[in-house]
Amino acid sequence: MNILHLSTEYNLGGSGRAAYRIHSSLIQRGHASRMLVSGQVQGTLDAEPIWGTLPWRAADWLARRATDALSLQYLFLPSSWRLLGHPWFLAADVVQLYNTHGGYFSHSVLGVASRRKPFVWRLSDMWPFTGHCCYSYDCDRWMAGCGSCPLLADDPALKTDRTALLWRTKRRIYARANVTLVAPSRWIAGLAKQSPLVGHWPVTVIPNGLDLRVFRPISRAAARDVLGLPQDEDLVLFSSVDTQAFRKGGTFVTEAVKALKGKTRKPFRLLVVGNRAGEWEAAVDVPVTAIDIVKDDHLLAAVYAAADVFVHPALADNLPNGVLESLACGTPVVAFDVGGVAEAVRPMETGYLTQCKDARDLAQGIACLLDDPDLRRRLGARCREVAEAEYDIGLQAQRFEDLYQSLIHAR
């Protein structure tokens, strides 16, 4: 088969890394797979910028300036219409979308494009069926037309409340489009089925997949040697592309760590990985090792293997790559019970689930695992079993192959 992927990033961020993993696994299984992304790509012939030449990029820049000023989020990007004549689009058997709220692709082209090719839209978050937000938290206005938005400042932010207009515009566009949704989690699949915007499209659940030859348990001592970490301390890991992002819940890590100082079986160190990690040294009164964002998967696997506990206090999430990577490396997870997280973090099986926004409960979960090495070992072994059974990259690729074949035959 010939598959074209449209992604914000080539191999960066949650959605971009998921897209790259699907793309590369399909190539390994003998398919032709290419990616059109938002920026320049070096060292590969199977990916390029969606905007093509500089005049198209300049046209997109002007269009973004205008739509941003009017709070008309991504309604017009000229290069999206260039897609219809792109040779990779013309050759594709299936086109797959990922995160489309990065200012590189306009959903306004879906009505025309999806009548020419089978379209699959992998739901990285809720944006496809809200007035503008990626996650609605406790707001349910997306079910009734949005408007009077309480989350205008949330990424991707709006200057003026146009959420009702944007919601209605999506409804008009989607009514003319033929799309199959793929949900990484049962949670977001359930929301999509309730949506007045996308509920009429079929939805299939395909969890994220990992290369389990890379993300695997290795000697904790060896992993710490590689990273230059002390061998005699317990290690609590917090990792995010942006460690200071509100949605990632870093403030609750700060509160939990402060509450735990001097109260665990032995002293522990906080390992923070991601952009702005260096700011954490002044935020907590425990030893901190800060590592900038890690792009190499082998090194990232060593980070998870070096830790005793991975903390994921996101305030909203789908099926996070970080959680699955930690499980695959045999490191149990302490996480808030939000979105699809509970589908992977199973209480006292692969980790510890806590109430959302409860720093005291988060601290209790961290202490529970730090203070019981035998429990950590049992949970770590079960983490790996779950990863092998449910989150293998080959299994994910097979599921996508089956879906693509069914769509091609239906056409």
What are the DSSP calls for 4-22, one per residue? EEEES-SS-HHHHHHHHHH
CATH of 220-390, one of 1.10.10.10, 3.40.50.2000, 3.50.50.60, 3.20.20.70: 3.40.50.2000
pLDDT of residue 11 exceeding 80: no
- What pLDDT does 76 receive? 92
- Which tokens sit at 58? 């300049």
What percentage of the chain has pLDDT greater than the value 90? 88
As a whole number, mean pLDDT of residues 255-284 equals: 92
State how far the alpha carbon of 137 is from the alpha carbons of 171, 260, 338, in Å: 22, 28, 9
Which of 233, 263, 253, 281 is CA-nearest to residue 361? 253
Between CA 308 and CA 335 the distance in angstroms is: 14
Residues composing the chain: 411
- Tell me the CB-side half-sphere exposure of residue 61, using CA atoms within 13 A: 7
Percent of the chain with pLDDT over 70: 100
pLDDT band, residue 172 (cuts 50/70/90): very high
> What per-residue confidence (pLDDT) applies to 223?
97
Residue 411 tokens, joined: 């056409």
* Averaged pLDDT, 250-258: 95
Distances (CA, A) of 115 to 111, 120, 122, 174: 7, 12, 18, 12
- pLDDT, residue 268, reads 94
For residue 132, what pLDDT band results from cuts at 50, 70 and 90?
A: very high
220-390 and 2-209+393-410 share a CATH fold: yes
Q: Give the pLDDT confidence score for residue 102 in this predicted structure.
A: 83
Is the pLDDT at 25 greater than 90? The verdict is yes
Residues 389-410, mean pLDDT to the nearest whole number: 97
pLDDT reported for residue 42: 81
* Residue 362: per-residue pLDDT: 97
What percent helix, strand, coil does the chain show, rounded to 5?
A: 45, 15, 40
- Residue 12's pLDDT is 75
Residue 283 pLDDT more than 90? Answer: no
What would the two tokens of residue 279 be?
């700011």
Q: Write the pLDDT tens digit of every residue in 80-131.
A: 999 999 999 999 999 999 998 888 899 999 999 999 999 999 999 999 999 9
For residues 352-367, average pLDDT: 97
What is the pLDDT, as a whole number, of residue 67?
A: 94
pLDDT at 7 over 80: yes
pLDDT of 411 higher than 90: no
Instruction: Name the residue type at position 115.
Output: R
Give residue limits of the domains in the chain.
2-209+393-410, 220-390
* Cα–Cα distance for residue pair 187/164, rounded to 1 Å: 24
Residue 71 is given by DSSP the state T
Could you tell me the pTM of the whole model? 0.94
Mean pLDDT of 49-78: 92
Is the pLDDT at 40 greater than 90, yes or no?
Answer: no
pLDDT at 160 over 80: yes
Q: For residue 54, give the 3-state DSSP assignment.
A: helix
Q: Which CATH number fits domain 2-209+393-410: 3.20.20.70, 3.40.50.150, 3.30.470.10, 3.40.50.2000?
A: 3.40.50.2000
For the stretch 212-247, pLDDT in tens is: 999 999 999 999 999 999 999 999 999 998 999 999
Per-residue pLDDT, 215: 98
Pairing of strands 309-312, 333-336: parallel
| Average pLDDT value for the chain | 95
**163-185: average pLDDT:** 97
Q: Cα dist. 388→138, 236, 284 in Å? A: 34, 24, 36
User: How far from chain centre, in Å, is Cα 29?
Assistant: 24
Q: How confident is the model at residue 262 (pLDDT cuts 50, 70, 90)?
A: confident
Report the b/e string of 218-256 with b at 16+ CB within 10 A: bebeebbeebebeeebbbbbbbbbebebebbbbebbbbb
Tokens for 141? 């206005």
CB 387 within 8 A of CB 204: no
